[in-house]
Structure 1
Amino acid sequence: MPSPRVVIIGGGHVGLTLALRLQKKLDAGEARVTVIDTQPHMTYQPFLPEAAAGSLEPRHVVVPLREALKRCEVLTAQVSTIDHARRCLTVTLGDGKVEQLGYDILVPVPGSISRALPIPGLAEEGVGFKTIGEAIYLRNHVLSRLDIAASTEDERLRRRLLTFLFIGGGYAGIEALAELQSMARYAIRSYPQLSEHDMRWVLVEAMGRIMPEVSPPMGEYTRQQLEDLGIEVKLNTTANSLVDGRVELSDGDVFDADTIVWTAGVKPHPMLEDSDLPRDAKGRLECTTRLQVKGTDNVFSAGDCAAVQDLTSSDPEALTSPSAQHAVRQAKLLADNIIAQLRGEPLQEYRHKHAGSVAGLGLFRGAAEVYGIKLKGLPAWLLHRAYHLMKMPTASRKARILGDWLLELPFHRQVVALGELHDPRAEFVKAANTRGLPKPRGTTAAG
């Protein structure tokens, strides 16, 4: 009799943590584990700001799935449909071939994507901050703005080039903004034509406070820290238009910006829309406290795309927050519950009180609130690094990241833009076309 097949859709933080635990705890031949993702690696998103700022080598914040999951089958493919009634997935493989894939136990954990709003110009001018590609692009883009600004005498163009707008005051936006601004302040020292005061960094947040994940006093402390760094923080403000980089805000402020970063929330992966699994009003899979999708006994989920009741809250309607802290802990319990189900043992409920939050605010600056204890400045920054280093999967990546940090002590950040990474064939195409230009009329092949 063939072993039961466990299919995990998504190789992100939840998917990788789950698969690592399954391959460690399952007996040989007890189950066949398949991980499906469009990317061959997992990106540890809390380290994206440091990768963008040059503190970490981008390759070190991703974990190759095949390298980590030796006992699992890894498919680089796109799941387009979940037909749970038939226990079947529609999968498009890397070569374009479409196949039907069966399963005994299904774990859809595709995570989330940026939640964009219908703001004019956002799709054309904005960039998100959820992938390693976006982080590298923003690093190159910000540094290239300094290069161009230093070489132009057009004051209006210079102001536009050196204006950086971030929309969204949650953790992702705050850390990305703080790290990139820290990098730019260091890099601009190499441009005698420019100074820190030429740059304008603006954070726009629709709510009346930033970082809702922490207490109001810590959120206010973080706002003050950003403003001390010269960052404008606009609360209770929204963007009305971003057409052609012309920023129009709800507070009446109008200016030009050549860099617009969108970090205003996420939504469940749209792949879940084409399934027959129950979802809530926000598109998340409705799950029990045992992390089973409601109405099923062999479909589980966790992380950003799962709506799970928070048993530590007095409010019966409260759900666990979409944080990395819950995602990792849910993934571990999820692995244990899948193993328990395979072995006919009882499943456990997920119960974890949020321990707190840590955030990096640029080099040597941070804010943290853990179990009610508030830390600021250097201690918070060190705790931020230590916590995420501990949570980074695999010893290999931990060692590489620690090595990057240690090298940063005697040496400075590398602040060079490699914009050609985004169009590596441009120079070759130009060179190839120089021999293929149309010849003037009247010439011959020999002439």
Structure 2
Amino acid sequence: MERPRILIVGGGFAGLECARRLERKLAPSEAEISLVTPFSYQLYLPLLPHVAAGVLTPQSVAVSLRRSMRRTHIVPGGAIGVDPRSKVCVVRKITDEVTAERYDYLVLAPGSVTRTFDIPGLTDYARGMKTLAEATYIRDHVISQLDLASASVDTREMESRLQFVVVGGGYAGTETAACLQRLTTAAIRRYPRLDPRLIKWHLIDIAPKLMPELGEKLGQQALSILRGRGVEVSLGVSVAEVGAESVKFTDGRTLPCRTLIWTAGVAASPLIGTLDAETVRGRIAVTAEMRVPQFEGVFALGDAAAVPDLALGDGAVCPPTAQHAARQGRAVADNLVAALHKQPLEPYYHKDLGLVVDLGGKDAVSKPAGIELHGLPAQLVARSYHMMAMRTNVAKFRVGANWLLNATAGDDFVRTGFLARQPARLQDFEYTDVYLTRDQVREHAQALLAKG
């Protein structure tokens, strides 16, 4: 009898945890497990601002999938469409070859992409903070602005190169602004021709408060830390227009600026749009057991799914956080095992354990189990949490060693020239333009299946 095929789409927190748990709970003879992912690593997203700031090397936050899993088959590519009626996932391999992966059970954990709006110039000139390539690019770009400003004799050019704007007052935006501001503050000492007062960081958000999830006290603490460092925080403000050398805000201000980092939220992977399934604010609607009710054998979780938050109730859905994604991955694995063994499925329930926000150096705010912390105690909690969340001992060692090296030896502020002469559009980094329409998915699925 042929083993049932379990196909997991996405190698992030949700997908990796699902695969690892399936390996532990199922014997090799019980199921064939495959994972579709374009990269051979799980990206530890919460530490991307540290990569952008040079505190951590890119490899430190790229946790090897092959170290984490033993027998899961990795398909090196990205899912670009799903035909649940034929039980086929269409995959574009990293060679651009399009293939079909059949499944008996499908786990959709494709994650999210940077959410954008119809703002003139945004998709052409904004940079994201969602992928390892984007974080690496941003570090190079920021240092190159210092280099070019130092070499310029044009005051207007210098001003535009030394003003940096981060949009989004959530965790990603706040940590990105904090970490990169520390980078430029340290780097400016190596540029004797530049006046440190010319470097200006701006953090803007349309919301009236910075990180409201932290609560009034810690949110104000984070705001005070940033403003104390010289970061100009503007709340209740958004971007009206972006140009190659300027940014216009909705309050009428226009800043000379060549660096706009966009972290204003996320949207579910466009893969979800290839299924004819019900959605909730763009995320695929699932039951409390994380089943997609319209299709047999299909589960969805993580950032791409609207998973009911039973701990909050009142129709709430789980926020798109790493904490929920990892636990949902394990819960879906348990439900897959139950389905294979003809047992009842269990609903997902998880009460949030708290929040950590690393602002670089000794600065942090944390709220573990409802306890409000700031300063060094909060930093110890934040970094301990990240270390524990790493899936391999090698990754833990790299991160710890990098933190220690940066704290004791500092940074050399080297730019590698990564994509220095290439466009840096969001779609180029996040591949948001490769997905098929529903009709194309069906055509590809049938054609590829016909070939065997």
Q: TM-score, normalised by structure 2?
A: 0.90
| SS in structure 2 of the partner of residue 86 of structure 1 | coil
**Counterparts in 2 of 1:165 and 1:127: CA distance versus 1, 3 Å:** same
What amino acid is the match of 2:293? K
Structure 2 distance, partners of 1:385, 1:327, is 19
> What is aligned with 2:412?
414
404-413 or 149-158, larger mean C-alpha shift: 404-413
> What is aligned with 1:54?
54
Within-5 A mapping of 1:238-253 = 238-253=238-253
> What is aligned with 2:190?
190
Structure 2 distance, partners of 1:214, 1:330, is 23
Within-5 A mapping of 1:366-377 = 366-377=364-375
Structure 1 distance, partners of 2:165, 2:408, is 32
**Counterparts in 2 of 1:370 and 1:340: CA distance versus 1, 3 Å:** same
> What is aligned with 2:218?
218
**Counterparts in 2 of 1:102 and 1:203: CA distance versus 1, 3 Å:** same
Residues 57-85 of structure 1 deviation map (CA, whole Å, 9 limit, x = unaligned): 11111023334323011011232221111
Retained in 2: the 8 A contact 1:125–1:245? no
> What is aligned with 1:357?
355
Structure 1 distance, partners of 2:418, 2:17, is 34
User: Any unmatched runs of 5+ in structure 2?
Assistant: 423-452
User: Any unmatched runs of 5+ in structure 1?
Assistant: 425-447
CA RMSD of aligned residues (A): 1.6
| SS in structure 1 of the partner of residue 213 of structure 2 | coil
User: Which of 334, 337, 346 is the equivalent residue of 1:336?
Assistant: 334
Residues 292-317 of structure 1 deviation map (CA, whole Å, 9 limit, x = unaligned): 112344111211111111111241x1
> What is aligned with 1:443?
none
Residues 354-375 of structure 1 deviation map (CA, whole Å, 9 limit, x = unaligned): 1221001121110111222111
Residues 115-165 of structure 1 deviation map (CA, whole Å, 9 limit, x = unaligned): 111111111211000011110111111111111111222111111110000
What amino acid is the match of 1:290? E
Across the two proteins, how many residue pairs are aligned to each other? 422
> What is aligned with 1:7?
7
Q: TM-score, normalised by structure 1?
A: 0.91
333-342 or 123-132, larger mean C-alpha shift: 333-342
**Counterparts in 2 of 1:185 and 1:318: CA distance versus 1, 3 Å:** same
Within-5 A mapping of 1:56-135 = 56-135=56-135
Post-superposition offset of 1:34: 0.4
Does 1:401 find its partner at 2:409?
no
Structure 1 distance, partners of 2:310, 2:119, is 37
What amino acid is the match of 2:405? L
Does 1:286 find its partner at 2:282?
no
Post-superposition offset of 1:260: 0.6
Post-superposition offset of 1:100: 2.4
What amino acid is the match of 1:122? L
Retained in 2: the 8 A contact 1:171–1:359? yes
Structure 1 distance, partners of 2:238, 2:255, is 14
> What is aligned with 2:389?
391
What amino acid is the match of 1:279? E
Retained in 2: the 8 A contact 1:368–1:374? yes
Retained in 1: the 8 A contact 2:356–2:365? yes
What amino acid is the match of 1:321? P
Structure 2 distance, partners of 1:8, 1:423, is 36
Structure 2 distance, partners of 1:332, 1:116, is 31
- Using CA pairs below 8 Å that are at least 6 residues apart, which structure has the higher relative contact order? 2
Retained in 1: the 8 A contact 2:11–2:35? yes
> What is aligned with 1:434?
none
Retained in 2: the 8 A contact 1:17–1:393? no
What amino acid is the match of 2:5? R
Retained in 1: the 8 A contact 2:136–2:418? no
Post-superposition offset of 1:23: 1.5
Structure 2 distance, partners of 1:390, 1:380, is 15
**Counterparts in 2 of 1:249 and 1:409: CA distance versus 1, 3 Å:** closer
| SS in structure 1 of the partner of residue 90 of structure 2 | strand
What amino acid is the match of 2:47? F
Structure 2 distance, partners of 1:355, 1:231, is 30
Residues 403-426 of structure 1 deviation map (CA, whole Å, 9 limit, x = unaligned): 2122234311332112256469xx
> What is aligned with 1:151?
151
What amino acid is the match of 1:323? T
Indicate the structure (1 or 2) with the bigger Cα radius of gyration: 1
Residues 424-447 of structure 1 deviation map (CA, whole Å, 9 limit, x = unaligned): 9xxxxxxxxxxxxxxxxxxxxxxx
